[in-house]
Amino acid sequence: MASSSSLPSSNPFGPGSSFAKISEEEEYDVTSPTDPSFRRSHTTSQSPFSSEAGPDEDEDENNNNTQINRNIFASAYQDSGEGLSSADLSAALSNAGGPGQGMPNNYAMGRRTSVSAESLNPTSSGADSWTPPFHPKTDEQLSRLKKAVSGNFLFSHLDDEHLKTVLDALVEKPIPAKGIKVITQGDAGDYFYIVEEGTFGVFINPSGAAQPGPDGLGTQVGSIGPGGSFGELALMYNAPRAATIVSLDPKSTLWALDRITFRRILMDSAFQRRRMYEAFLEEVPLLSSLKPYERSKIADALDTIKYAAGSTIIREGDPGDSFYLLESGEAEAVKAGTTVKEYSRGGYFGELALLDEKPRAASVIAKTDVKVARLGRDGFKRLLGPVEQIMRRTEYDVDPAGTPTTIEWLCSIYSIDCAMGIFVLIPPGDLHLVDA
Ligand SMILES: Nc1ncnc2c1ncn2[C@@H]1O[C@@H]2COP(=O)(O)O[C@H]2[C@H]1O
């Protein structure tokens, strides 16, 4: 049965919000990863990540990245302090005739819309008379579309039948100018978008909704390029748009998927995966500096693999194509018959071959039955750029004899970042950070 519900005019992610979710969706008692309550409602311990990084932090991250000698990380979604300022964009918007000019139909162009709360249990697709939309495509369109979705992790877990349904339902949306607002923060969600061509800026206004005026879009927190996607959050969580998305190139191409097909077909696996991995990813020390939304994107790209005790997960000398996070069990890195490192839940391995395009530097063996979350090369490069420096730091620095120094060994045992400050060893063996 359908009922209707208007989204509130204030953003539920903003302070003091009293956002009521659409009742049919109550089976999902979750909040969006952009919601300040997201971590509190998903962890028992006090979260160390209680505030979103502001623009300064983003800039710092960016500056750090520029110090890397060879940055292998190219991103379909990347944090960036660069791009147009809000003022530049306002100028671009007025040059383009203002928001709404030259816009394809159905875009949320600054208007507040209400959403009909369809009965949308994604697991019950097929149990009613819903027929997915079918938009015929030329061979040329289909081949471009397939290429655009091939690198998108939300599509990589679909079976052939579901993939076909989604491809049939997608509609091409040419974006003819720079500065076009495809999504406006605070609006209701209508479409999910895949980027085929061009780059789009992600802007967040801390008030929870885009405002009029030169700085109304807020701060640019990232950009999304070919193969990337956006617009899933409002559809997944029945929440207002969490960000404003604006075209940064004179000509771009998007593919739009309607809300119902997204929820019935794409959301199921994405939602499960984000939910399955979110608590684990919050515990991984390597990822602790990432924002919740960045961890959600990593969850989209992970696959879990189980290994029995004694099996070889990585073999020394092999070419590397995957990075691993240890979800459960114990593993060890072995070089020439000697154990050089031990891993437990939250540990990671397999990064060196991907960072430096070198063969595997050690074997990694399961000591007990283990579960690992595997990230392929593409996901590693697209999603782990912000933590590249942490991975490159001291953990594998070795003394001339080839053995880790005592302090490096201790830092790795305690999962502490040695580069953060001065550490003292307090008997009987606790390592303390005394200065940063
Ligand atoms: N840091 C971010 N926070 C929130 N949304 C983001 C961020 N980066 C990209 N986005 C995308 O911006 C989209 C705006 O619309 P949605 O809220 O539907 O979904 C959002 C995400 O797909």
Domains of the chain, each with CATH number or no CATH: 3-266 (2.60.120.10), 273-400 (2.60.120.10), 401-436 (no CATH)
pLDDT tens for 417-433 read 555 555 555 555 455 55
Q: Is 295 annotated as a binding residue?
A: no
pLDDT (mean) for 359-373: 97
pLDDT(6) > 70 = no
Q: Which of 292, 273, 262, 287 is nearest to 190 (CA)?
A: 262
What is the model's pLDDT at position 408?
A: 57
Q: Is 58 a pocket residue for ligand 1 (Cβ < 6 Å)?
A: no
Q: Is the CB of 221 under 6 A from ligand 1?
A: yes
pLDDT at 32: 60
- The confidence score (pLDDT) of residue 268 equals 79
pLDDT value for 272: 84
316 is in an annotated binding site: no
Q: b/e per residue, 16-48, with b = 16+ CB within 10 A? A: eeebebbebbeeeebbbbbbeebbeebeeeeee
Which amino acid residue places its CA nearest to atom 20 of ligand 1?
231
93 or 268: which leads in pLDDT: 268
Look at ligand 1, atom 6, and give the residue with the nearest C-alpha.
243
For ligand 1, is residue 236 a contact (CB within 6 Å)? no
For 279, other C-beta atoms within 10 Å of its C-beta total 12
Q: pLDDT higher for 248 or 97?
A: 248
Which position has the token pair 């008030």?
A: 207
**Among the listed residues 308, 359, 367, the one whose alpha carbon sits nearest the alpha carbon of residue 332:** 367
**What would the mean pLDDT of 257-279 be, rounded to a whole number?**
90
Amino acid, single-letter form, for residue 355: L
Distance CA 169, CA 167 (A): 5
Say if residue 263's pLDDT is above 80.
Answer: yes
Structural contact between residues 284 and 325, judged by C-beta atoms closer than 8 angstroms:
yes
Range among 19-33, 84-98, 106-120, 266-280 with highest mean pLDDT value = 266-280
The two tokens of residue 255 are: 């593919």
**Cα(256)–Cα(232) distance, rounded to whole angstroms?**
11
241 is in an annotated binding site: yes
Distance in Å, CA 274 to ligand 1 centroid: 15
Q: Is the pLDDT of residue 387 over 50?
A: yes
> In the predicted model, is pLDDT for residue 318 greater than 80?
yes
Where does the pLDDT of residue 10 fall: very low under 50, low under 70, confident under 90, or very high at 90 and above? very low
**Which range (26-30, 103-107, 235-239) has the least confidence?**
103-107
Contact between 387 and 404 (Cβ < 8 Å):
no
CA 78 to ligand 1 center in whole angstroms? 12
Whether ligand 1 lies within 6 angstroms of the CB of 181 is answered as no
Amino acid at site 403: T
